[in-house]
Amino acid sequence: MAARTDQTTDPRLQEDLLQARRGTAFFARKLNELTDAELDGGTRLAGWTRRHVVAHVGYNARALARLIEWAATGVETPMYSSPEARNEEINFGAMLSPIALRHLFDHSAVHLNVEWRDLPAPAWQHEVRTAQGRVVPATETVWMRIREVWIHAVDLDNGATFADIPGSVLERLLTDITGAWHTRGTDNGLRINATGTTTGTDLTFGDTSAENPTLITGPLPAVVQWAAGRGTSCVTATGPGRAGAHRTVPAAPKWI
């Protein structure tokens, strides 16, 4: 019997699906490197143990699978019934036995992958609603998963860094994050300059119209780490209005 493959023929979507699957495999590798006892350890996210991160990533796959089912059937199936239910689910998952927690991640990832694989090509454009209330085509679920698995693999605090994330994903993350700031009006006077990009040239994000901006500069992985609220190492800040005058790197505006 021939292996079943994705029904979409859109090259961009196929590339995104590949990146999501690679990110899932990377997260799985970092998770499998941890002993059961180490699951109780801390992470880069305040108040969350590794157990919380694994539970969140597992239940996120289930939530995204619900959106794909919505796109396939036309029957509304929200990601979560409420923000409170989402938080309760994560806290419950964090209390599972190590083997059950690992199975949650593995099985939910397989479930989501099957839902993606079997979704008819036209249904990828059917609209669904995210947990934040955005109405998006089903294709957006793939990018949502890419963000989750790559960033949270770093959050496990098990040796992964933002430098492990593919450059194309980092650039898209920075576009996503700064776009959210702009929509909320929180990027006023804040400009980001990322070096070491996939194009070989520096990229500029944020408020490019400001006359005296606070300029955040650093290698692409470090800048994305800062923008995602995960630290300020290898990033510098200058200004406003004082060329070359270094200052304490400010906290990044809220992203999600």
70 neighbors 127 (Cβ within 8 angstroms): no
> Is the residue at 2 inside a domain?
no
Residues 8, 123: Cα–Cα separation, whole Å: 9
Q: Residue 179 belongs to a domain with what CATH number?
A: 3.30.1050.20
Count the domains in the chain.
Answer: 2
Query: CB-based contacts of 12: which residues, under 8 Å, 6+ apart?
Result: none
Residues 145 and 25 in one domain: yes
Helices (H), 7-132: 11-32, 50-73, 83-94, 98-118
**Among candidate residues 160, 178, 211, the one where a domain is terminated:** 160
Residue given tokens 């800048």 in the structure block: 223
Tens of pLDDT along the chain (256 residues)?
345 789 999 999 999 999 999 999 999 999 999 999 999 999 999 999 999 999 999 999 999 999 999 999 999 999 998 889 999 999 999 999 999 999 999 999 999 999 999 999 999 999 999 998 999 999 999 999 999 999 999 999 999 999 999 999 999 999 999 999 988 888 878 889 998 777 777 888 887 777 788 899 999 999 999 999 999 899 999 876 444 445 688 889 888 7
- For CA atoms 72, 77, 83, 87, the dihedral sign is negative
Global confidence as pTM: 0.92
CA atoms within 13 A on the CB side of 17: 21
> Is the residue at 252 inside a domain?
no
Residues 23 and 128 in one domain: yes
Domain that holds residue 178: 167-247
pLDDT at 95: 97
Residues 58 and 86 in one domain: yes
Residues 63 and 131 in one domain: yes
Residues 81 and 145 in one domain: yes
pLDDT at 1: 39
pLDDT at 247: 64
